[in-house]
Structure 1
Amino acid sequence: MKITHIECYVLKGARGTVKGFHSSTGVRNTILVKTFTDNDIYGIGEAFCVGPDSATLHWVKYFEEQLIGQDPRRIEYLWARMYQGARIPPGSSGMAALSAIEMTLWDILGKSVNSPVYELLGGQFRDRVRGYDGAGGDSPEQLCEAIQKAIERGLTAIKTSPLPSNFRSLLWNDALAAAEERMKIVREKFGYSFDIALDTHAAIFEPSKTLEIEETVRPYKPLFIEDPIRMENYQAMADLRKKFHVPLATGECTFTKWQTGQLISLKAVDIFNPDICLVGGMLELKKIAANAEGNDLSIAPHNPMGPVATMVNIHFAFSTPNFVILEHRGPTDIEKNIVINTPETKEGYFSLPQGAGWGIDLNMEFLKDYISNDYWHREEYFLEDGTPAHI
């Protein structure tokens, strides 16, 4: 079996028109990849939507040149050719493309032996996979409404920002007061039998400010605080973790086992949340999880992407001992039509995937209406004095 060609589809509008709970997220495009072989078996994957999307598409075509004529089942070998062939370690767009292609290879391998991918990764470790979704709302009341909708969907956990979206324009003491009010009202309404994860989205530059946030929300028992400071300074993250009482989660902006390994060595993390669409794909995330397990750390994958990425993560979660919880979005009606057998939670959990490979497929006839050259760019933010703000 040989690879014949690889296609990349940038879809606009599949995610609907609703922004994420971070206003900077905007309405992203969806980037899907499909690898074809000479015996009619193909595989699908999803790339992280970095913004701008066009760079990822060009990386896919670059990697395609290396892979045509190769056996798709040699996953470790082909990963090395893509990664090492770039000479300079690829950045976010390159790793997004590499991750998506790697996913397609696992789908092909599973189909070629008529097996679900999780069976090829050590088999079923648990009976079901717990999921959580994002919940937005600038006011505590709006946040409570979003949480109520999540509960009505059967979810037992959500993730939100501890701060309102306009925190950059507030005096810091006022921002902290807003965080206190949000958590207080939410806990008074829903109690402590519902988990709330918090995400400052790496938008706070000063560790001292993030520590004040942690001290403010600590009494309300968050599940974790994600990316409390910028991810570039691993030592600062490690120093902050020593002072936190709430578990510190990070990893969504790290690539490969080498970067995540540095976080482990520095003891800079409690809960890893790498993104399988960015970190290097399934096998790389399994290696990271094994390293984390050996250091008594757990994994809660970052996954604000579409149904293809969610299903890939579900296979990872079912086969990984130190998995905790999976981020996901409830699929839109458009996504349900694009992805055949779209995964959804029932009573807050995903069930065991069925079928060979990922157990899902793309409805190409429906998908083609959403292919676009209108590439997505992230929204920029500025402080009151005109300083470019962290997103």
Structure 2
Amino acid sequence: MKIVAVRPFPVWVGTRNQLLVKIETDEGVFGWGESGLSSREKAVAGAIEHYAQFLVGRDPMRIGALWQEMYRSQYFEGGRVLTAAMSAIDIALHDIKGKALGVPVYDLLGGKQRDHVPTFATTAAAPGEAMIEQARELMDAGWDCIRFMSAGQESPDRLDPRRSLAETASWMVRAREALGTEVALGIDYHHRLSVAEAASFCQRMPMGTLDFLEEPIRDETPAAYEALRRLTDIPFAIGEEFASKWQFLPFIERDIHQFNRIDVCNVGGLTEAMKVAGWSEAHYVDLMPHNPLGPVCTAATIHLAAAVPNFAWLETRSSPVERHLGFDSSEIFPVQPRLEGAVYPVSDAPGLGIEVDEKALTREPFRFWEAPHLKRPDGSVTNW
């Protein structure tokens, strides 16, 4: 079997751009992958076109060797654009291999360790009574882990991180009081705080209020996270933007965090994700994968979650309180993972177990889109 085409699809799907990749072979078997570098899809598509120059004609079954060749075939190794491209290709190769062998992808990763994958859901409302009501709705539907978002965004392009601390912390305390102690509660700060601000936020809440704090500060300097680790005992959930096992390494080896928010569509695909999972297991760090993209990402991550022992929850954006924010993707992805209550059943279909309608996929062309360029009240730029 030989690869005959590597085709990137940077297209508008529902409410956002997605970058899917289709790899075709001379035996009619094909696979789908997805890249996770949102809002820079054209850059990733360009990298995929470079890789396609030497992937065509190669054996798609040699996934590990092709991964190494993609990573080591240029002087400038790695980087988020390149590993996002590699991620999509790697996932598509796993899809091909599973289909060719007639086995689900999790069998390529060591076999199934769980029959369904538990998820966490996110409230759509800002901190307030509506947020707590949405959390109750999620608990009634079966969720035992719920994530909240922070307060403080005054307008689409204006954020005062310092101002959000007291309001957000107060509502986290009220949420714990209202929802009880059996549900796991966390909050995503989306890298928007400094070390001092994150410490101040944590210190405003009684012990036991939060089960995890997600991405409170930027990740470029592991020593900054170590400083924050000394200032709070709230477990950290970080890593959704990490682009390789090497980026995870200092956080795992220094016991900085407790949950890996690994993204298979950014980290280098399933090949790299399994290596991170092994290191994490040795340090008793659980996987809590990032999954805000499309059904291909969800399917790939379900197979990863099924195959590893150290797993907590998978992010889903398809819960009852967020479903109205998205769209029905059934036309484009007629076969895709579907929630059953608060869990994803693990598919036994060959490959990823998804199907894509290419005609429906390409009806909406790519649209250039920018994430909000947030500024503080004084006019200075802050993190989105």
Q: TM-score if structure 1 supplies the norm length?
A: 0.90
For 1:378 and 1:143, locate their aligned partners in 2 and report how far apart those are by CA, in whole Å. Answer: 24
Match of 1:193 in 2: 182
**Compared with structure 1, are the counterparts of its residues 209 and 109 closer, same or farther at alpha carbon in structure 2 (3 Å cutoff)?**
same
Q: Please identify, of 305-314 and 181-190, the stretch whose mean Cα deviation from structure 2 is larger.
A: 181-190
What is aligned with 2:346?
Answer: 352
Secondary structure at the counterpart of residue 201 of structure 1: coil
Query: 1:269 is paired with a residue of what secondary structure?
Result: coil
The 3 A distance-change label for structure 1 pair 171 and 363 is closer
- Is residue 236 of structure 2 the alignment partner of residue 237 of structure 1? no
- Find the counterpart in structure 1 of residue 85 from structure 2: 97
Q: Number of aligned pairs? A: 376
User: In the TM superposition, what whole-angstrom CA distance separates every residue of 1:73-121 from its partner, at most 9, and x where no partner exists?
Assistant: 1001111111112321232222211101100000000011100010121
Between the aligned partners of 2:161 and 2:2, the Cα distance in structure 1 is 60
Matches within 5 A, 1:135-284: 135-151=123-139, 153-166=141-154, 170=160, 172=162, 174-204=163-193, 206-284=194-272
- CA positional deviation for 1:148: 4.1
Q: 1:335 deviation in Å?
A: 1.6
Deviation at 1:313, TM superposition (A): 0.5
Matched residue SS, 2:331: helix
Aligned partners of 2:127 and 2:168 also within 8 Å:
no
Match of 1:129 in 2: 117
Equivalent position to 2:371, from 357, 378, 391: 378
Q: 1:136 to 1:385 in 2, by over 3 A?
A: same
Q: Does 1:297 align with 2:285?
A: yes
Q: Which runs of 5+ in 1 are unaligned?
A: 17-27
Residue aligning to 1:61: 49
Task: Indicate the SS of the match to 2:303.
Answer: helix
CA distance in 1, matches of 2:93, 2:137: 37
CA distance in 1, matches of 2:309, 2:267: 19
Q: 1:149 to 1:219 in 2, by over 3 A?
A: same
TM-score, length basis structure 2 = 0.92
2:77 matches 1:84: no
Q: Which residue number corresponds to residue 62 of structure 2?
A: 74
**AA partner of residue 227 (structure 2):** D
SS in 2 for 1:12: strand
Answer yes or no: is the 8 Å Cα contact 2:173–2:209 preserved in 1. Answer: no
CA positional deviation for 1:45: 0.9
Distance 2:141 2:294 in 1: 18
Which amino acid counterpart does residue 4 of structure 2 have in structure 1? T
Distance 1:244 1:171 in 2: 19
Distance 1:37 1:218, change over 3 A: farther
Alpha-carbon distance between aligned partners in 1 of 2:84 and 2:376, rounded to the nearest angstrom: 30
**CA positional deviation for 1:238:** 1.8
Between the aligned partners of 1:146 and 1:52, the Cα distance in structure 2 is 32
Change over 3 Å in CA distance of 1:7–1:148 after alignment to 2? farther
Is 2:329 the counterpart of 1:307? Answer: no
CA contact (8 A) 1:251 1:273 kept: yes
Taking the aligned partners of 1:304 and 1:223, their CA distance within structure 2 comes to 21
**Cα displacement (A) at 1:152:** 5.2
CA distance in 1, matches of 2:119, 2:161: 35
